[in-house]
Amino acid sequence: MSINRREFLKKSSVIAGVTIMPKYLSAMASKQSPPKKKPNILMIAVDDMNNWVGVMENKAKTPNIDALAKSGMLFNNAYCVAPACNPSRTSLLTGLRPETTNLYTNKPDFRDQPGGKDIVTLPQYLREF
């Protein structure tokens, strides 16, 4: 599968918010070859956790999430493009808004929508490294 990196970046404002290491983003934007070393990316997407983790000074005991947050990056404000899981997760993994994917509820698969088979997801893009 051939992926146009510049087009992917234009569509991936949501993905950029997830914080992929800057050197990978700059390599993608300038059409440089990927770094020889494979990216080391850990993405945890939990859409119903809220702010109940211990690192946010709440009562839940979450020592592993707390340690990860202290050694990495913690986002205190979170936003999503849709109040339903399917369109929100699809946006996160494609960089496309529900108006583009035509997903507004949890029922359809984005691949079954018009043009859905041609959409490149973040895992597909990262597979190219």
Residue 14 in this model has a pLDDT that exceeds 90:
no
Angle at 112 between CA 107 and CA 115, to 5 degrees: 130
Query: What is the set of active-site residues?
Result: 85
Q: What b/e string do you get for 30-49 counting C-beta neighbours within 10 Å, with b at 16 or more?
A: eeeeeeeeeeeeeeeeeeee
Name the nearest CA neighbour of 10 among 113, 93, 96.
96
Q: What is the mean pLDDT of residues 36-43?
A: 76
Q: How far is CA 123 from CA 43, 59, 94, 126, 128, in A?
A: 11, 34, 9, 5, 9
pTM exceeds cut of 0.95: no
pLDDT > 90: what percent of the chain?
Answer: 16
Residue 41 and residue 20 in contact, taking contact as beta carbons nearer than 8 Å: yes
Name the nearest CA neighbour of 86 among 127, 50, 45.
45
The model's confidence at residue 47, banded by pLDDT at 50, 70 and 90, is low
